[in-house]
Chain A
Amino acid sequence: MLEALKNKKLGRWLQGGPQDDVVLSSRSRLARNIAGYPFLTRAGKSQVARIEELVHKKILDAGFKPPLQYYRLDRIDPFDLRLMVERHLIARNHADSDLVRGIAFSEDESLSIMVNEEDHLRMQTIYGGMQLAEAADAVIKVDNILAEHLPYAFSADYGYLTACPTNVGTGMRTSVMVHLPAIMMSRDMDKLTRICEDMNLALRGLYGEGTHGAADIYQISNNVTLGITEQEITGHVETATKLIVDLERDIRDSLKTKHGKELDKRLGKTLELLHNIKSISSEEALNMLSLLRMGTRLGLINELTESKMDELLFMSLPAHLQTIARREADSVKRNEMRASYIRKNLKSLENKNEET
């Protein structure tokens, strides 16, 4: 396993931020291609390798401070690739591809640059909580640094040229990851989808296209990238997120006041179940932990701290569990490991509470 991912705290974005009762993280990414080379869809094997070599070298030349770590993804363990997907360092497509490709990332994992994903370059910044403007500013700074070293494919008419027509123009995809258990529980999905439709934003599950909202976690991002400025994109996502945060908070409050007893009962049952469970799938675990996360944020559970709760949630994902166990495991074994990990952590948290 990669040294850079071993024995290390989760990325800084997972340690919370403004409005993190609902907004887990804010992300901004820019897609770029290098002028003079075909896009990856039409590049031959040796061309793909040359592009990787060039971009890799230029990223190192750019002298990012603090320095970035660079890895060739076609040379590392598939298990590390899955770990990187779960940590949102790389997209799933990037992990599954068989091209010569790479990833550069900062120590705190707030910046990552994917080389030879769908485009030659995809840089992204990810911050905890509601920090959309900060994430956008940061990724633009990175773009400016790289523009000193790499000639971009750009046209005055269409802006930054990308392999897919849905990214052309700014090449910017700005998104928030939001935790919406109350909206899901109240079956008020309609209001949520309407907000997104009205503002022409996309609603997706935890790990991008085609995944459902595991743990009631959703991503909201812009669809339009052309004929719009970077500030406007960020502003739209921000406006929609504010509406969604208000909606989620309102329903959480009314759940607490109107159905407080029922909610208490469900939380108690869930906690008890997790304390005693011998095996649990990642989907089940995420759903239960999602409920506990909301209970914690509503002040209904005193045993768990908020940041510990998020860590527990992300550590319950398949590849992360194997990191803890330091070995590869099949899904049966993983489900047992997951149950034991959750049991142990819940217990340790309670012990700490009793001491204080």
Chain B
Amino acid sequence: MSEESEGVCQECGRDKAKIHITDFIDGKPVKKHICQKCYDAEGGMPSLSSSDLFAKLVGIIAPEVKKAGRQKCSDCGIDYIEFRQSFKFGCAKDYVLFKDALDELFEDIHGASHHTGRVPEGKAQSATGTKQRVEMLNRELAKAVEKEDFERAAQLKRKIKQVEQSSVGSIKK
């Protein structure tokens, strides 16, 4: 177990390294292990985060970056470079804003860029969600028919009807 072997901060060499980030130094990603104090002292962000130089460097490492541009999300305030650096989205809207670049990134990570799994069902889901849900269920229905899985197709038809009906009136905005 790692209880005895926790690393020490690379900045102050004193406290336990709690934060593990990837910084970019001379265009190369470098793993940094630092303590909370040193992290806070740097303003919580690695040194080069938003400079044009940094954007260029990320552009070299992550080619899809050009497609995303440098537009900031109006909800959470991050742009694609910042996302690429932390590898964390700030909010759901980023997925729409960065779409052009994301399809390529998701192909790299997942070998796919389109969801084929389950769709949320339930009273709490939003009205726009309903429209998407019906679209997805229809797509699944087409797949089931193609596979001649008629039991599944009948099940899906019932579900589509249910979802369409439940969206009338009962959705709170």
Contacts and interface: CB of A to CB of B under 8 A. Distances in A.
A110 interface: no
Contact of B116 (A152, A165, A227): A227
A114 B163 CA distance: 29
Determine chain B's interface SS by DSSP, over half rule: loop
B124 A158 contact: no
Interface residues of A, number: 56
Interface string B126-155: 100100110110000000000000000000
Contacts of A151: 124-126, 129
Contacts of B125: 147, 151-152, 154
B158 to A, nearest CB: 16
Nearest to B36: A98
Given A41-B89, A155-B96, A156-B135, A147 B120 contact: yes
B92 A35 contact: yes
Interface stretch (A167-175, A178-186, A189-197, A343-351): A167-175
B118 A140 contact: yes
Given A35-B92, A96-B18, A227-B114, 11 more contacts: A37-B91, A148-B123, A151-B126, A152-B120, A153-B92, A157-B113, A158-B113, A158-B114, A159-B118, A161-B89, A226-B113
Going nearest first, the 5 A-B pairs with the smallest beta carbon separation are A227-B112, A159-B115, A147-B122, A42-B90, A156-B132
Interface of A: 33, 35, 37-39, 41-42, 96, 118, 140, 143-144, 146-166, 168-170, 172, 200, 207, 210-211, 214, 224-230, 281-283, 286, 317-318, 331
6 contacts: A38-B76, A147-B122, A147-B125, A149-B122, A152-B124, A168-B110
